[in-house]
Structure formats: C-alpha cells, structure tokens
Amino acid sequence: MSERLLPDADTMYRALVEKDPTFDGLFFTGVTTTGIFCRTTCTAKKPRRENVVFFPTAHEALLAGYRPCRVCRPVEPPASTPEPVRRLLSEVEADPALRLKDEDLRSRGIDPAGLRRWFKKNLGMTFQGYARTLRIGAAFGRIRHGDTATNAAFDHGWDSLSGFGDAFRKVMGAAPTRATGLVVTMTRIETPIGPLLAGATDRGICLLEFVDRRMIETQILRLKKLLRATLVPGTSRHFDTMSDELERYFAGRLRRFETPLDTRGTPFQQKVWAALMTIPYGETRSYGEQARIIGEPAAVRAVARANGDNRIAIVIPCHRVVGADGSLTGYGGGLWRKRWLLDLEQIGPQPNPSGDPRRL
C-alpha cells in the first residue's frame, strides 16, 4: 500500500468523524468489522478508531477484500462541482446582470434548496448572495474605468440607483461614487489534496491557500488591509492560467509556474519569498540556508516567520524548506500535505487505478 500518499492516521480519522469534504477522494476507510470501505463524507455511523484501516485508493481497498459502501459509493469519482452548478456558474459569470429566481433555477433542472446548501457549504454564502456580489464587482469595474454609477447600476440589473447604492455599500463599504479601492476577485481551485482559495488582482495571483488552513481568515484580513481591497467572487484571466498550471503540476508535467503573481509585502518578506522561488523543483533547503542566501544568517527565525506569511502556496514553494536535520517543520496546509508535495516532486505522481484524473 502506498502509505506515503496518506495523511497521518489521526488526521484521517478526524476527517472521517467530521465528514470533512476537503479530504474526499484523498483516502478511503476500511471498516474491519463489516468488511466495507467508505469515503470521508459517508453519512453512515462512524466506526471506532481501532476498527478502521486506511487506503490511498479505492482500488487498493478492493484488492484488500473490502466491499464498497452502498451509502457513499466510494468507487465513483469524489464529489466536485456538480455539472448543473458548473453550468450555472458559467452562465452568471458570463452575464453578471442576470437575475435568476427559483422558478428559473427549476427550469434549468436545479433544486433551489439544494443549490443554497451547496453554496453555503462550499462558498460560505447563498447562490443569490454570490450572484449579487458578482454583480457588484462587475459594476465597480465599470466605475473604476470611468463609467458612471448610473450606467453601471442599470446595466447590471438594478431598477433604481438607491437599491444599487445600498447593495454596493454593504459589499464595498462605501458609496459607488466614493469607492476607489482595489478589488480582489476570489474563486476556488480544486486540487488532488484539497481545494485552494485563490485571489487575483490585475497584476496577478495574490492569494492561493488551502481552504482548511487554520490561519486562512487571518491571511484574508491581512490581505484586505495590505491592499486596502474588497474581496468579491468573480473571474480573472489569472485563474484560468493558474488552474491549468496546477493541473499540470499535480500530473508531474510542470516544474515552473509562469502565472503572474502579486506578492506585495515588506522588503524583508519580498526578499525571503524571492529566495523561496530559487529552490529547485525536487530539492529542499533549511531555514538556515535560506537565511544565508538572503545575506542575513542570524535571521533564521525571521525567515521562518516570513515563510509562514507566504500567501501563495505551492507556487512560492515554502513546502521545500525543512529543518536543519531534514525533518519536516510547520506548514500552513498541514505536514501531511508538505510530505505529499515533496513526494510528488521527488518521486513523481502515482498511477491512478480508478481512472479519476483528480486523484493521483
């Protein structure tokens, strides 16, 4: 069994008990007392810790003699964005002024209540809230480029300027005519080791963090303060290139990212992050080596702090920094992900017996 692909056993059991969807498809749980194996999101009664074993793929669970659960159907691809939701997102992103009522959703084969649950679970807001924020962001883009608030309001579906102004203030914190700050568009990017929250400015990607990182809220608040920005869901040309490059990276076909980055920070942070970018694919360095490279050998702790402040996971490869003795040290996405990424770069992706391209 390919144990190197798995998080530690305590992490996996906790994910199973909590039905954590971010681990869905990353491992499978065999229950020794029933001979059945499940995915992490299974709603069946959770087994005792001593009665479970873990497998990196459904194929290996089957080879070990376990039968697939009839509740969670672990031999089927792990859940991602359902196709009806994917089509709906494409539709509203192409036309932010589009307003869809429940009957409009039903005509598209989508249950409004189910859609609300999916959006709350995956994006932390309702679909209507997402669509409204998307319209605000698009309207603000028009205003920033010289158009009037009146044109922006009516072209994006508002019937009155007062209604537009109220909605705008709730999201942007200022009246349309006074809002001059930066807007960071946000999206989720799926990866084999869990979804990433991505943010982009006109310059490039400014945020790329695992959504379950403990400090994600702090990182977002720091980013908003640093850039004096408002964060809204939306699209960006940088998301398309970033998604494509991440897909090739996890398939073992890409070693250097080219998507533009927006890495604003202190001069010291900039120096540390630039040094991280020089660590070759498949290699590691210690914090002490990083400190010497930037010309400040006594600043090991400060270097470690700046590594932790890195907002762009994987692309700025802080996962390649290890302890002086080669041991794994702290990583915002979790040590199991750090080991996984290093294994990917040093050994390469594993065969995918299930045929699901999202699981290596």
Q: Which residues are catalytic?
A: 38, 318
Instruction: Tell me how far apart the alpha carbons of residues 82 and 40 are, in angstroms, rounded to a whole number.
Output: 18
Residues 6+ apart with CB under 8 A from 2: 56, 57, 60, 350
Q: Are 258 and 245 in contact (CB under 8 A)?
A: yes
- Using a CB cutoff of 8 Å and minimum separation of 24, what contacts does 219-228 make? 219/311, 222/309, 222/311, 223/184, 223/199, 223/311, 224/184, 226/264, 226/265, 227/182, 227/184, 227/201, 227/264, 228/181, 228/182
Which tokens hold the place of 241?
């290139």
Chain-centroid distance of CA 141 in Å reads 24
Instruction: Tell me how far apart the alpha carbons of residues 88 and 96 are, in angstroms, rounded to a whole number.
Output: 11
CB neighbours (10 Å) of residue 197? Answer: 21
Instruction: Tell me how far apart the alpha carbons of residues 50 and 48 are, in angstroms, rounded to a whole number.
Output: 6
